[in-house]
């Protein structure tokens, strides 16, 4: 594609390149640059805010035909000056893939908890209702119909994101549903995308290593309103007012408690393996169920139903479709043991999510609730003692271990967690090695126990130092059982 076409709608401060130059790829990583690539030097990349102008020389050596940057390169290479390389990256990425996103009706889901489950539910419901493939972008998978593609960030970088949209269009998708992280909204990864429906699930403590304050985190999530045609929000969440305060589009709410909401769950029944409820909207009542336990599953089901309803489908159709849905790997996932105790894997890695899963299991557990968890290294340290307090308060036994310690010392992370457990009467075991900790939980299980392995969820790896090694808790459980 010609450079001039790629630069359409880019706010250019200075052009020092040939618009007729042929561009073969759009890259943000100098190591991925090949002959003819356009390299975009992002000034605020990733959670650590890395300035990638330092890699312009490496990109030129690898064959970059042109560079988009915010200041003149020290290397002799054709370049385009812009005021904001993040925004420019989003625009040129969309142009490179011929603005495939404009050919799709996209649902964007943001919030601290529930994004993954809600997006998967919406995808399954739309495929049931339309009998056509639906695209999905998120934490556990990027999918085009049944085909899966690698996933890294919850919301991919702009070039990868628009490449996925192009795959969806080529596969005949009319709808796409995606998780929209606070990082993506802050760093401009979704700039230029209009969501047919924006969904807000809830807001609790998370990512304060990046946003610094809870107010900044909330403000980042609120940005989805400006990019949505319609907004679906959780009326029962304390921060919904922050999300909707400056919204200029129609806002619709779902609730389990407020009759004034647009979609309300009535006659809620919680079972060990599922939830049942009646959905009421504009005088229409539809009974449904979802094969995932817990009150949070009612909220996730309502969010998905309201999004599908706002896309133009009937409430009855949405209810029938929801009843056919299944859960997501690593979200309240029951691991078969063939024994007289239960093992559940859940991604809970925030205080609120941990409290939700333990409370959910306690509501249907016949024996002890055993919670095994750790906290990630190089991430928000303030939530560690809070999670320790939650686990000790709600569990019958807590096993504190490692999660993804990354470059932190595992014992130091555990020490932070233990400060929140001071004075607890709940038995606490500290086993730093997660494999050994899981083996301990299995070997010491009592009849009717429910063991919650929290934090890893869908992940099949562990990050120790800078190395990512294979670690699938399903395999570790099976090994311990043997």
Q: What percent of the residues of the chain are helix, what percent strand, and what percent coil, each to the nearest 5?
A: 35, 25, 40
- Of 47-56, 311-320, 429-438, 456-465, the range with the lowest mean pLDDT is 47-56
Q: How confident is the model at residue 151, as a pLDDT? A: 82
Q: How confident is the model at residue 218, as a pLDDT? A: 86
Taking 60 as the threshold, does the pLDDT of residue 20 lie above it?
yes
Strand bridging mode 66-69 / 284-290: unpaired
Mean local confidence (pLDDT), 165-190:
94
Structure tokens at 460: 């099949």
Q: Dump pLDDT digits (tens) for 255-314.
A: 999 999 999 999 999 876 688 999 999 999 999 999 887 888 999 999 999 999 999 999
Q: How confident is the model at residue 365, as a pLDDT? A: 82
Helices (H), 195-289: 208-211, 214-222, 240-244
Residues 309 and 317: their CA atoms lie apart, in Å, by 9
Residues 79 and 88: their CA atoms lie apart, in Å, by 13
The pTM score is 0.80
Mean local confidence (pLDDT), 369-393:
97
Nearest to 235 by CA among 273, 195, 202, 207: 202
| More confident site: 195 or 45 | 195
Q: How confident is the model at residue 205, as a pLDDT? A: 57
Q: Dump pLDDT digits (tens) for 40-88.
A: 999 988 767 789 999 999 999 999 999 999 999 999 999 999 999 999 9
In this structure, the chain runs to a length of 482
Rg (alpha carbons) of the chain, rounded to whole number: 24
Q: How confident is the model at residue 186, as a pLDDT? A: 85
- Of 126-140, 155-169, 315-329, 357-371, the range with the lowest mean pLDDT is 357-371
Q: How confident is the model at residue 187, as a pLDDT? A: 86
Q: How confident is the model at residue 210, as a pLDDT? A: 58
Mean local confidence (pLDDT), 92-99:
98
**pLDDT confidence tier of residue 145, bands split at 50, 70 and 90:** very high
- Of 358-367, 437-446, 457-466, the range with the lowest mean pLDDT is 358-367
Q: How confident is the model at residue 209, as a pLDDT? A: 52
Taking 60 as the threshold, does the pLDDT of residue 207 lie above it?
no
Q: Per-residue b/e over 436-448, b at no fewer than 16 CB within 10 Å?
A: ebbbbbbeebeee
Q: How confident is the model at residue 45, as a pLDDT? A: 84
CA 10 to mean position of chain CA atoms: 29
Q: How confident is the model at residue 147, as a pLDDT? A: 96
Mean local confidence (pLDDT), 215-240:
92
Mean local confidence (pLDDT), 422-434:
97
Mean local confidence (pLDDT), 132-161:
91
Q: How confident is the model at residue 407, as a pLDDT? A: 97
- Of 96-100, 237-241, 391-395, the range with the lowest mean pLDDT is 237-241
Segment (H or E) for 96:
helix 85-96
Mean local confidence (pLDDT), 197-218:
76
**pLDDT confidence tier of residue 212, bands split at 50, 70 and 90:** low
Mean local confidence (pLDDT), 404-414:
97
Nearest to 117 by CA among 344, 328, 347, 354: 328
Q: How confident is the model at residue 85, as a pLDDT? A: 96
Structural domains of the chain sorted by starting position, each given as residue range(s) with its CATH number in brackets: 3-96 (3.40.1390.10), 100-322 (3.40.1190.10), 333-481 (3.90.190.20)
- Burial of 36 from C-beta contacts in 10 A (0-12 / 13-18 / 19+): middle
């Amino acid at each position: 594609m010609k450079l001039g076409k790629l630069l359409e709608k880019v706010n250019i401060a200075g052009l020092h390149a040939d618009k007729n130059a042929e561009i073969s790829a759009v890259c943000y990583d100098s190591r991925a640059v090949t002959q003819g690539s356009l390299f975009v030097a992002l000034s605020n990349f990733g959670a650590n805010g890395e300035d990638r102008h330092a890699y312009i020389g490496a990109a030129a050596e690898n064959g970059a035909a042109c560079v988009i940057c915010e200041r003149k390169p020290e290397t002799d290479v054709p370049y385009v000056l812009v005021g904001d390389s993040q925004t420019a990256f989003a625009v040129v990425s969309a142009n490179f893939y011929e603005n495939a996103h404009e050919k799709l009706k996209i649902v964007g889901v943001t919030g601290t908890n529930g994004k993954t489950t809600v997006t998967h539910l919406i995808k399954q419901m739309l495929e049931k209702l339309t009998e056509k493939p639906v695209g999905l972008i998120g934490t556990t998978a990027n999918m085009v119909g049944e085909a899966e593609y690698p996933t890294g960030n919850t919301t991919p970088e702009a070039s990868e994101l628009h490449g996925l949209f192009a795959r969806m269009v080529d596969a005949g998708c009319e709808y796409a549903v995606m998780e929209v992280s606070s990082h993506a909204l802050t760093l401009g990864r979704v700039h230029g995308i209009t969501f047919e429906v924006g969904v807000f699930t809830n807001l609790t403590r998370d990512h304060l290593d990046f946003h610094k304050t809870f107010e900044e985190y909330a403000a980042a999530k609120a940005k989805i309103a400006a990019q949505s045609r319609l907004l679906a929000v959780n009326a029962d969440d304390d921060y919904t007012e922050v999300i909707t305060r400056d919204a200029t589009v129609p806002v619709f709410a779902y609730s389990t408690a407020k009759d004034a909401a647009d979609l309300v769950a009535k006659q809620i029944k919680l079972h060990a393996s599922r939830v049942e409820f009646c959905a009421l909207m504009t005088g229409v009542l539809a009974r449904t169920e979802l094969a995932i336990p817990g009150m949070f599953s009612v909220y996730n089901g309502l969010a998905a139903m309201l999004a599908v309803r706002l896309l133009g489908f009937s409430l009855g159709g949405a209810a029938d479709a929801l009843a056919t849905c299944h859960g997501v790997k690593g979200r309240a996932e029951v691991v078969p043991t063939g024994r007289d105790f239960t093992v559940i894997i859940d991604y809970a890695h925030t205080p609120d999510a941990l409290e939700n899963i333990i409370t959910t299991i306690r509501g249907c557990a016949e024996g002890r609730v055993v919670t095994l968890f750790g906290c990630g290294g190089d991430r928000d340290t303030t939530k560690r003692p809070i999670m320790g307090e939650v686990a000790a308060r709600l569990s019958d036994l807590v096993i504190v271990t490692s999660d993804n310690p990354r470059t932190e010392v595992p014992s130091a992370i555990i020490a932070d967690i233990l400060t929140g457990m001071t004075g607890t009467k709940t038995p606490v075991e500290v086993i730093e090695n997660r494999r050994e900790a899981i083996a301990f939980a299995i070997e010491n299980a009592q009849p009717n126990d429910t063991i919650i392995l929290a934090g890893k969820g869908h992940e099949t790896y562990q990050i120790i130092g800078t190395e990512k090694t294979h670690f699938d808790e399903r395999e570790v459980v099976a090994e311990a059982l043997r």
